[in-house]
Amino acid sequence: MAFPIEEKYIAEAERELGVKFPPIFIEKMKGQNGGEIETDDDTYTLYPFFDKTDVKKIKRTANHIILETKNAKEWDNFPSTGIAIGDNGFGDKLVLLPTADDPSKLSDQIYIWSHETGETAAIANDVNELVK
């Protein structure tokens, strides 16, 4: 179950990962930190931002974007500049990639990374196209 999150926790994740999340993604996550989204082929669970407000929220956000991105980067074929924002439960990830002109700024575009092939494919112009 997803809950709203304070923007300070999003800023903490940005500092730790060295990126700026797209404003559209931030707005979606501020209202519902996590949740599910659908593509034409699958349902994905969005990773939350780590919320340290209280023990209950710490437990509910333990699979946060920072941790899941670090875990994904252990795969040889995960994009080195990618930020994992969700998964389908079978190994494939939803990914944000940097813009072409600024590697610290993430693009609005959402990609699927295949754990089997290592390929990324654009699936949406932004997270709002996938909201369930």
User: Using one digit for the tens of pLDDT, what is the confidence trace for 15-68?
Assistant: 999 999 999 999 999 999 998 988 888 999 999 999 999 999 999 999 999 999
pLDDT of residue 34: 92
pTM of the predicted model over 0.85:
yes
Res 131 pLDDT > 80: no
3-state secondary structure of 1: coil
Measured between alpha carbons, how far is 19 from 36 in angstroms, rounded to an integer?
23
Band (129; pLDDT cuts 50, 70, 90): confident
- Give the other-Cβ count within 10 Å of 73's Cβ: 15
Q: What is the CATH number of domain 7-129?
A: 3.40.1580.10
Amino acid identity, residue 118? Answer: G
pLDDT of residue 1: 57
User: Using one digit for the tens of pLDDT, what is the confidence trace for 62-115?
Assistant: 999 999 999 999 999 999 999 999 999 999 999 999 999 999 999 999 999 999
H/E run at residue 84: strand 83-87
Q: Please state the domain extents for the chain.
A: 7-129
3-state secondary structure of 44: strand
